[in-house]
Structure 1
Amino acid sequence: MRTAYEIVKGHYDANDRRDMDGMLADIAADCRWTEMDGFPCAGTYVGPQEIFKNVFVALGEQFDGYTFTLERLLDAGDDVIAIGDYTATHKKTGKPFRARVVHVWGVAGDKIRRFEQFTDTLRVSEAMR
């Protein structure tokens, strides 16, 4: 059985390859995925299909080159903490941004069960205005 760290690292490895199927592969059907209040796709979404539509598709519709760059991945047993940066350019304004971000993951039974994002929503909002 893979560790929580290995499962989350696999998600980020798939992200680096731009492999959406790989990114969604270990997300449980009941996973609660929370994007921070003030973020363009703020809310809590349950399951891979809702996450895909309300997060990944939504960000792709609003931004060009949306990227998460992982700086550190911290192993806390069944929880994993990722620290990094978001970068993108807003399609309508043409303004780029860079925002620090922390992702908090919860893994159980070899599946991702929880995700919560903490980011500098001001930087994203400034690019959208």
Structure 2
Amino acid sequence: MSNLDVLKKGYQLFAEGNIEAVLELWDEKIVWHECPGFPFIEDEGVFVGGQAIVEGVLSKLPTHYDDFNIEIHDFVDGGDKIVMVGYYTGVWKATGKRFKANATHTWTFNKDGKPNAFFQAVDTALIINP
């Protein structure tokens, strides 16, 4: 399976809510850079390992969003670095307003074909104040 295939499978599993299967695709020491512009992110937004990512990011999504979704527009496949270009959509619960915000994810893969680094860039201001 190519790195792009692994990534596409991970997004599909995330959309299905199968976080356990997503974590199995990742390197156990994955370094995750979440945008610090989200109010639920402290410090620089860096998490290491699947459990830290679940606790610090993924478990907080249902608390802050309704109907959260990632709409994928395109992938830029650089082999061991792949960029997802798309949008976050949903409702920010604090305001009750629907949003559609630009989002990119840059994934780096190790030699075993597992993502070991994630960097997020998203228009957090548009999400929080649509």
Same fold (TM over 0.5): yes
8 Å CA contact retained: 1:68, 1:84: yes
Deviation for aligned residue 1:125: 2.2
8 Å CA contact retained: 1:35, 1:41: no
**Which AA in structure 1 matches 2:47?**
Y
Aligned to 2:16: 17
Aligned to 1:34: 33
Deviation for aligned residue 1:23: 2.0
**Percent pairwise identity:** 28
Deviation string 1:46-77 (CA, Å, 9 cap, x unpaired) is: 11111111111112111111111111112101
Correspondent of 1:115 among 115, 118, 122 = 118
Deviation for aligned residue 1:27: 1.4
Structure 2: runs of 5 or more not aligned: none
C-alpha distance in 2 between matches for 1:98 and 1:88: 7
8 Å CA contact retained: 1:41, 1:59: no
Moved more, 38-47 or 24-33: 38-47
Aligned to 1:70: 72
1:54 aligns with 2:53: no
Superposed, 1:87-98 pairs within 5 Å as: 87-98=89-100
C-alpha distance in 1 between matches for 2:32 and 2:76: 19
Deviation for aligned residue 1:17: 2.3
Query: Residue 27 and residue 40 in structure 1: after superposition, are their counterparts in 2 closer, same or farther (change >3 A)?
Result: farther
Moved more, 103-112 or 34-43: 34-43
C-alpha distance in 1 between matches for 2:98 and 2:14: 20
C-alpha distance in 2 between matches for 1:104 and 1:36: 12
Superposed, 1:74-85 pairs within 5 Å as: 74-85=76-87
Which structure shows the bigger proportion of residues in strand conformation? 1
**Which AA in structure 1 matches 2:46?**
T
C-alpha distance in 2 between matches for 1:40 and 1:23: 25
8 Å CA contact retained: 2:35, 2:120: yes
Normalising by structure 2, what TM-score?
Answer: 0.88
1:124 aligns with 2:123: no
